[in-house]
Amino acid sequence: MSAVEQTIRTRVDAGSGALIGYLPVGFPSLGGSIDAAVALVENGVDILEMGLPYSDPVMDGSVIQAATQQALADGFRLRDGFEAVRAITAQVSAPVLIMTYWNPVVQYGVERFADDLAAAGGAGLITPDLIPDEGADWIAASERTGLDRVFLAAPTSTPERLRRVVESSRGFVYAVSTMGITGARADVDAAARGLIERLREAGSTSACVGVGISTPEQVREVLGYADGAIVGSALVKALADGGVDAVGALARELAAGKNAL
Amino acid sequence: MTNPTEPTPSRNLRDELGPYFGDFGGRFVPESLVAALDELTAAYELTKKDPAFAAELAELHKSYTGRPSIITEVPRFAEHAGGARIILKREDLNHTGSHKINNVLGQALLTKRIGKTRVIAETGAGQHGVATATAAALFGFECVVYMGEVDTERQALNVARMRLLGAEVVAVKAGSRTLKDAINDAMRDWVTNVENTNYIFGTVAGPHPFPAMVRDFQKIIGEEARAQVLELTGALPDAVAACVGGGSNAMGIFHAFLDDPSVALYGYEAAGEGADTPRHAATITKGSPGVLHGARSMMLQDEDGQTYESHSISAGLDYPGVGPEHAWLNSIGRADYRPVTDAAAMDALLLLSRTEGIIPAIESAHALAGALELGRELGPDSTILVNLSGRGDKDMETAGRYFKLIDEGATQS
């Protein structure tokens, strides 16, 4: 069992589930993103998802786009991603996944990327625009290096596709709560609950819900049926508006939702 | 032309169906879109075998678009091309002014078949957006067109046309604010609204089935032109020339000739201020393999895989990617892709206007500039078929400024 899966399992066994926090590397600066990530863990986030800024992020809403565009304008390079993972894992023990669109990995070299991520202490990759059908290179590289691979599942995925996603994933399956891109929503769609049920039927023992979650109440609601809740845009907005202290404070509030089951 | 990989008798180059063309193509998309792409693929496969669909589309081509489009030989223009015969395929005469309508009508019929009521599209020059807004009006669909803010400024007339036709035009302010970013926003819309929305993609790029499907809706250009040139000259042309942005008009005219080894195929990419400057859109000439907008193809990118901003005076060619079938035809040596600068394209635009009374779109002027060079290369006995993919009405502001015709217009020679 991987560190990510173990962390989720421990939280589920304790009667709750895992809180997973997303932040982009390089926003508001490389050092600032590392400090913010550490603050998330110190305030109750169980697993980190660090996003690599990319020029054409088709799954991202306006808050994350604005942050990653700023990071790119400030000179973000892929090697900063490995440096961030190394610096964060030196300070906290929570597992750190990288979220990246696929082309940067292809250009860096899939094998080399896997080696460098593993060497930096990273736990694996979340790949929003790589489906298992196109993922043979990455599946082989992650097998060789022991890295997790988190594929996405959508409310529109057929049972056959959900089985393939579950069989191809390691760490957890990222269940997209609603049809749409990242960003806070008033209600996390009822579709999320149905998708988690269908993922269970497809054999998943580690399924986390993301997209649209921004409040402690939503974290509590999602952890009632899923193994983890993923928060992104709300944290990025807190970091943009109020810096490391604000993002730490929001993490603490969100983590309270985890404990109030 | 020497062809390093002759088609094997059992497998014609024309028969490639995707998702892959050699190493290029595929589906690099969020899982949320897979069901919609599968639905579209299944519906498209069904319609391919459905004579009623073919008949309905043929009737629209005939009585709405005005097909078949004619061919026009342009001898006064060809005097500047070493005396080669130059024949234009007149897609500029189609309803809405370009080849884009061919694909849009096919996809609009498909949209009706799969029961969706809202269509979205990306557009660069505005021609695909205008064609989609036109079809939406004809079929009664709600229509939203995404267009980079830079392009809404340089193609303001087409923005007004789309709005007049009832479409909502969204000016995209992200990234380079051109076609690439319009596609990103259209994909975000589709991920969100896929239940009632079909994405009418404008070119032979994107995830499967778009490259194969858009090509199939455009291949009528080459099928007509091949027969028309044979009838006019008694032989196949020596070369076919087309401009390449995403590559739909080029695939449309190339396809019928892919298995005619005597016919050389030339794609002309926008070299902007020069292929050796940072400001160009010569994706195959200067790019490298990578994944952009759902497919593996050639693209302009840095070593970290971040997409470069492209540049061209022509909004329709201002794109840092290209369709995967073109990347494949380049890799096997079947088609030759060459850069044409802004300046060369504008010279060709002026020359065709002055010698033949035909004002081409700036996009198509890249193919004309290529043909001028090619004629000198191939000699006076050669015949070159050029896809005149669109008309220049939409470019009058750009051309007027470029040639300084607007303020002192009446006194210009």
Report the gap between the CA of B175 and the closest CA in chain A (Å).
Answer: 7
* A92 pLDDT more than 50: yes
**What burial letters (b/e) apply to B395-412, b meaning 16+ CB within 10 Å?**
beebbeebeeeeeeeeee
For residue B18, what pLDDT is reported? Answer: 94
For residue A260, what pLDDT is reported? Answer: 58
Q: Out of B30, B31, B194, whose CB is closest to A58?
A: B30
- Report pLDDT digits (tens) over B29-49: 999 999 999 999 999 999 999
For residue A180, what pLDDT is reported? Answer: 75
* B13 pLDDT more than 90: yes
Where is A48: in which H helix or E strand? strand A47-51
Q: Which carries the bigger pLDDT value, residue B337 or residue B175?
A: B337
Taking the CA atoms of chain A, what radius of gyration do you get in angstroms? 16
Q: Which carries the bigger pLDDT value, residue B309 or residue B406?
A: B309
Report the gap between the CA of A77 and the closest CA in chain B (Å).
Answer: 7
> To the nearest whole number, what is the mean pLDDT of chain A?
95
From the candidates B100, B116, B180, B219, which is the catalytic residue? B100
With contact defined as beta carbons under 8 Å apart, do A153 and A172 qualify? no
Q: Choosing among B40, B304, B307, B310, which should be mutated to test the A contact, i.e. which has the most A CBs within 10 A?
A: B304
For residue B1, what pLDDT is reported? Answer: 41
Report the gap between the CA of A259 and the closest CA in chain B (Å).
Answer: 31
- SS3 per-residue string spanning chain B: CCCCCCCCCCCCHHHCCCCEECCEECCCCCHHHHHHHHHHHHHHHHHHCCHHHHHHHHHHHHHHHCCCCCEEECHHHHCCCCCCEEEEEEHHHCCCCECHHHHHHHHHHHHHHCCCCEEEEEECCCHHHHHHHHHHHHHCCEEEEEEEHHHHHHCHHHHHHHHHCCCEEEEECCCCCCHHHHHHHHHHHHHHHCCCEEECCCCCCCCCCHHHHHHHHHCHHHHHHHHHHHHHHCCCCCEEEEEECCCHHHHHHHHHHCCCCCCEEEEEEEEECCCCCCCCECHHHHCEEEEECCEEEEECECCCCCECCCCCCCHHHCCCECCHHHHHHHHCCCEEEEEEEHHHHHHHHHHHHHHHCCCECHHHHHHHHHHHHHHHHHCCCCEEEEEECEECHHHHHHHHHHCCCCCCHHHCC
> CA-to-CA distance for B323 and B308, rounded, in angstroms?
17
- What SS3 class is residue A67? helix
Q: Which residues contact B377 (CB under 8 A, 6 or more apart)?
A: B82
Closest CA to B327 of B337, B315, B312, B340: B337
> CA-to-CA distance for B64 and B57, rounded, in angstroms?
10
- Report pLDDT digits (tens) over A98-132: 999 999 999 999 999 999 999 999 999 999 999 99
Percent of chain B with pLDDT over 90: 90
For residue B176, what pLDDT is reported? Answer: 84
Which chain A residue shows the shortest CA-CA distance from B294? A129
Q: Which residues contact B91 (CB under 8 A, 6 or more apart)?
A: B69, B98, B99, B221, B249, B387, B388, B389, B390
* B4 pLDDT more than 60: no
Q: Choosing among B24, B29, B32, which should be mutated to test the A contact, i.e. which has the most A CBs within 10 A?
A: B32
Q: Average pLDDT of B251-273?
A: 98
A179 touches chain B (CB under 8 A): yes
Q: ω before B360 within 30° of 0 (cis)?
A: no
Q: Which of the four pLDDT bands, split at 50, 70 and 90, describes residue A178?
A: confident
Q: Which carries the bigger pLDDT value, residue A178 or residue A234?
A: A234
Percent of chain A with pLDDT over 70: 99
> CA-to-CA distance for B134 and B65, rounded, in angstroms?
11
* B121 pLDDT more than 90: yes
Q: Average pLDDT of A66-81?
A: 97
Pairing verdict, β B239-244 and B383-388: parallel
B31 contacts A154? CB cut-off 8 A: yes
For residue A239, what pLDDT is reported? Answer: 98
Q: Which carries the bigger pLDDT value, residue B157 or residue A187?
A: B157
For residue B2, what pLDDT is reported? Answer: 42
Q: Which of the four pLDDT bands, split at 50, 70 and 90, describes residue B63?
A: very high
Which chain B residue shows the shortest CA-CA distance from A72? B306
* A185 pLDDT more than 90: no
Q: Out of A105, A157, A180, whose CB is closest to B34?
A: A157
A128 touches chain B (CB under 8 A): yes
Lookup: tokens for B385: 């078929």
Q: Which of the four pLDDT bands, split at 50, 70 and 90, describes residue B10?
A: low
- Region of poorest pLDDT, from B8-12, B73-77, B333-337: B8-12
> To the nearest whole number, what is the mean pLDDT of chain B?
94
How many CA atoms lie within 13 Å of B72's alpha carbon, on the beta-carbon side?
14
For residue A189, what pLDDT is reported? Answer: 72
From the candidates B16, B312, B389, B394, which is the catalytic residue? B389
Which chain B residue shows the shortest CA-CA distance from A61? B188
Helix/strand/coil percent split, chain A, to 5: 55, 15, 35
Lookup: tokens for A96: 């750190």
Residues of B within 8 A of A65 (CB-CB) are 174
Report angle CA B176, B92, B181 to the nearest 5 degrees: 15
- Report pLDDT digits (tens) over B313-341: 998 999 999 999 999 999 999 999 999 99
For residue B102, what pLDDT is reported? Answer: 98
Report the gap between the CA of A133 and the closest CA in chain B (Å).
Answer: 8
Pairing verdict, β B118-123 and B142-148: parallel
Report the gap between the CA of B297 and the closest CA in chain A (Å).
Answer: 11
Q: Average pLDDT of B145-156?
A: 92
The count of CB pairs under 8 A between chains A and B is: 110
Question: Is B180 known to be catalytic?
Answer: no
Q: Average pLDDT of B281-310?
A: 97
Q: Which of the four pLDDT bands, split at 50, 70 and 90, describes residue A261?
A: low
> Which amino acids of A are annotated catalytic?
49, 60
